Structure 1
Amino acid sequence: MAAPRRDTKGIVDAGELFSRVRFRRREPAEPLRPYLEHYWLIDWDLPQPYASHVVPHPSVNVVFQRFGTRPEDGFGEVSGIGLGLCTQKLEGTGRVCGVQFRPGGFRPFAPGHAVSEWTGRSLALGSVFRDGAPDGAVGGALAGAAQAVLEPDDEHARVAALDAFLLSLGPTPDPRADLAMALAHRIRTDRSILRVSELARAEGLSARTLQRLFAQYVGVGPKWVILRYRIHEALERAETDAAVDWAGLAADLGYADQAHLVRDFTATVGVPPTAYAPSR
């Protein structure tokens, strides 16, 4: 599997974020790599409050976080796919250790429910992982997990704790999860896939079958995934190119015209691309 991504897709004003916090991505243990994008670690010690903004990926995250320095304040939760802009206020001292699953990769760790049940929600670990699994095994995995992940100052120890936590939960092999991950990956990497009908035709599946598969295993529909990756591409272009040809980019991303791209970008990021780009 490839090393963790180095792009900034989804991060609004990445340069500003990186100037204020210590952000890095780490690779999980080998058995987990088919299911995970990467771990993401953030530490901060801020003299003034700061609000970070992220346009979420079509991914479930498990997030361990602590605001402050007391070990007892640490907690973990499952964050389903965020449908809108995610804003997090950071102040004082804190630490986050997150797990970004591949789209479709979370279901093997919690096979009892459709992933769409978590979409737009954040839930305590126990409310997701206990259902349908032996209490003893899951209870052992959850007990003290937040402290084990968040307490070490050495980030290698934090990664090892994340590995141990996830390996204690599974994963349960599932060919349909493998298919969902492959299809989502194709949407992200194949620029010719601009519509659900094109993906269905290329894969020899019906659009209805794709909808059911994505609801069960990804958490959102394939059209939503296509649109979200379009916005990620536009956002990264705005971050790195002060003279973006928005009409040309709209055509490249499969939009009927520039106005449709502007509408989606504004609805997701909160400002139109022409207002966002010049300040970067």
Structure 2
Amino acid sequence: MNGSVQKSFPGQPSMGVLNLKGSETKFRLSRYTPSDDIAFFIKHFWIVSWDLTGQEPYLQDVVPNPCVNLVIERDKTAIFGAAKGKFSYLLQGKGCVFGAKFKPGGFYPFLQQPVSELLDKPLDIDRVFDIEARDIERQLLALEHDEAMIRLAEQFIRPKLPARDDTILLIEDIIDRIKEQPDITKVDHLAECLPMHKRKLQRLFEQYVGVSPKWVIKLYRLHHAAEQADQGRVVDWLKLSLDLGYYDQSHFIKDFKTIIGETPEEYARRVGG
């Protein structure tokens, strides 16, 4: 393990954790860089822990991203594809969840079938790795230190590492373009930039990422919009919707609500309150 830790603090990109500033006292979120061999496929390990003993439960919202996650949680361990909308998790009592976030496209070499098949259909961990869900829950969640959890996770991941697939690097580059070039608002724009035929691009994303390039473009534009409000900025939603390529603000509001779970104004009031 490289030993690199990235902890989430207000003012840093939320990476899909909504209202990060308002939740900092409710749980601890840490992200760790994997060992070099594993890092070709896995973006980071993440650990969420909380102790709300004697306190009210807390509902945390998470926006999806185009990544597969291996999640180890008591009685809920599985491998999950990208969700299509906001996911809400109820934190109560005391607990811990461990995850491995694969790079976009990084899980396909393990699966060797279209990652789109994981949409709304989690995969049992023993379908890919030589470990039963209950065994890894018992072993890993009993550990007290993050580093020990990561070592154990790498022990069962490493024997199953597939050959490196350069398509993962291509997909990384494509998604970096989407994130860094806000003027890319349509799949046609993206295909022209690469250059790559639109249909080939769509097939590539279905196979490796599990969601369409159109959805990924929309997702990152709406991530950006939500983070504007998260950072306490007064947002001109009409201007922002135009900047993101929407010709009609009503379509922007509809898409924002689909992904974030509420309208821009409702979300801004909640995180600002």
Q: TM-score, normalised by structure 2?
A: 0.88
Superposed displacement of residue 213, structure 1: 0.4
Superposed displacement of residue 143, structure 1: 8.4
Conservation of the 8 A alpha-carbon contact between 1:104 and 1:184 = no
Structure 1 position 109 matched with structure 2 position 110: yes
Alignment of 1:34-45 (within 5 A): 34-45=40-51
Superposed displacement of residue 64, structure 1: 0.6
Superposed displacement of residue 95, structure 1: 0.7
Superposed displacement of residue 177, structure 1: 3.0
Question: 1:100 corresponds to which letter in structure 2?
Answer: K
**In 2, Cα distance between equivalents of 1:77 and 1:19:** 28
Evaluate the alpha carbon distance shift between residue 9 and residue 139 of structure 1 in structure 2; reply closer, same or farther with a 3 A threshold. Answer: closer
Conservation of the 8 A alpha-carbon contact between 2:64 and 2:82 = yes
**In 2, Cα distance between equivalents of 1:190 and 1:29:** 30
Superposed displacement of residue 226, structure 1: 0.3
Question: 1:119 corresponds to which letter in structure 2?
Answer: L
Superposed displacement of residue 242, structure 1: 3.7
Of 139, 155, 162, which aligns to 2:146? 155
Structure 1 position 185 matched with structure 2 position 181: no
User: Number of matched residues?
Assistant: 263
**% same residue:** 34
Conservation of the 8 A alpha-carbon contact between 2:61 and 2:86 = yes
Alignment of 1:120-131 (within 5 A): 120-127=120-127, 129=128
Q: Which runs of 5+ in 1 are unaligned?
A: 67-72, 130-137
Superposed displacement of residue 198, structure 1: 1.2
Structure 1 position 28 matched with structure 2 position 29: no
SS in structure 2 at match of 1:122: coil
Question: 1:102 corresponds to which letter in structure 2?
Answer: K
RMSD: 2.3
Evaluate the alpha carbon distance shift between residue 142 and residue 169 of structure 1 in structure 2; reply closer, same or farther with a 3 A threshold. Answer: farther
More divergent stretch after superposition (197-206 vs 260-269): 260-269
Partner of 1:55: 63
**In 1, Cα distance between equivalents of 2:30 and 2:145:** 13
Conservation of the 8 A alpha-carbon contact between 1:145 and 1:165 = no
Structure 1 position 64 matched with structure 2 position 72: yes
Superposed displacement of residue 141, structure 1: 8.4
Q: Which runs of 5+ in 2 are unaligned?
A: none
Conservation of the 8 A alpha-carbon contact between 2:41 and 2:107 = yes
Partner of 2:78: 77
Alignment of 1:166-245 (within 5 A): 166-245=157-236
**In 2, Cα distance between equivalents of 1:143 and 1:3:** 27
Superposed displacement of residue 276, structure 1: 1.5
